[in-house]
Amino acid sequence: MTRLVLLHGSLTGSARSWGAQRELAARFELVAPDRPGFYPGPPVARVDFEADVRWLRDVVRAGDHLVAHSYGAVIALVAAPSLPLASLVVIEPPAFSIARGEPVVESWLARAEALPRTDPRTHAAAFLRLVGAPFLLPQELPPDLEQGVEALFRERHPVDADVPLAPLPYPVLVVTGDHEPAFDAVGDVLERELGAERIVLSGGGHAVQSAPGFNEALLAFLRRA
């Protein structure tokens, strides 16, 4: 069975990130690892996309389809030229380095710079509002979220990522959620420079993989790929 690798973003691990994709297990072997530093694995001193690129190369096998969300999508884009994929889907990657100078991107980065750093939970709650995630932290954090909040606090900013902008030897789909212009600006650059397909799905905020119609659009792309 063809493998569909699902790579989560910041704060929440795979179980919380890909619930809507469980139904795809009838068609694919779903591989949804938790990135280094995320529960149930041990914490790490620093969450860094460069370290996760090296980790991802060991996860991926030739012929895999890779679907990556947010920070995970930045990791996938940095690694993409060296991955033996059948296709790549990136969902709202905060790869803002490729769209510097765009007013909406500069505004988003200024707001990100102003996020409170008093403690991990306060920072995480403000981060969720900034990215447009339809998710509120519960009063009592379960172990996975507690570790995810700490990981976010130790995360290297994705604007530091040097994302290669050249067509890849496999099909690419860029997905945005029609809620934050800064993510749209990044999507525009990726669509143009990678020769990628592009879809926009509203209703899920930043978690576009939960938006109505996402799985259907994903399956249509994978059939073409």
Report pLDDT for 178: 95
Would you state the structure tokens that stand for residue 35, as one six-digit string?
């990135």
Split into its structural domains, the chain has a count of 1
In this prediction, residue 117 carries a pLDDT of: 94
- HEC string of the chain equals CCEEEEECCCCCCHHHHCHHHHHHHHCCEEECCCCCCCCCCCCCCCECHHHHHHHHHHHCCCCCEEEEECHHHHHHHHHHHHCCCCEEEEECCCCHHHHCCCHHHHHHHHHHHCCCCCCHHHHHHHHHHHHCCCCCCCCCCCHHHHHHHHHHHCECCHHHCCCCCCCCCCCEEEEECCCCHHHHHHHHHHHHHHCCEEEECCCCCCCHHHCCCHHHHHHHHHHHC
Check if the beta carbon of residue 52 is closer than 8 Å to that of residue 75: yes
CATH of the domain at 205: 3.40.50.1820
What does the pLDDT read at residue 192? 97
What residues contact 166, with CB distance under 8 A and at least 6 apart? 81, 193, 194
Cross-sheet strand order for the sheet of 65-69: 29-31, 3-7, 65-69, 87-91, 172-176, 197-200
pLDDT by position in tens, the chain (length 225): 999 999 999 999 999 999 999 999 999 999 999 999 999 999 999 999 999 999 999 999 999 999 999 999 999 999 999 999 999 999 999 999 999 999 999 999 999 999 999 999 999 999 999 999 877 899 999 999 999 999 999 999 999 999 999 999 999 999 999 999 999 999 999 999 999 999 999 999 999 999 999 999 999 999 999
d(CA 152, CA 131): 13
State residue 136's pLDDT score: 85
Which pTM does this prediction carry?
0.97
Domain that holds residue 180: 3-224
pLDDT of residue 135: 77
From CA 73, how far away is CA 79, in angstroms rounded?
Answer: 10
